[in-house]
Amino acid sequence: MHRRALGLLFAALAVGLGLIAVYAALAGGRVWVIAVAAGGLSLWMADIARRAFRRSP
């Protein structure tokens, strides 16, 4: 049960960071650094969520 909750937490974080990356990329200018960093963190959190969901019985 705890693994599923962690999976949901990391999935929510991945979605939030993904949205931040999209909005930062659309803003243009110097915030591309934020877009790249948020995109990378989003992918990392999504991978953690995927692993947590896969291991749950």
pLDDT tens profile 39-49: 999 999 999 99
pTM of the model: 0.86
Say if CB 34 and CB 24 are below 8 A apart. Answer: yes
Q: Which residues contact 36 (CB under 8 A, 6 or more apart)?
A: 21
By residue range, what is the domain housing residue 13?
2-55
Higher pLDDT among residues 2 and 36, named by residue: 36
On average, the pLDDT of the chain sits at 92
What is the identity of the amino acid at 13?
L
Quote the number of domains for the chain.
1
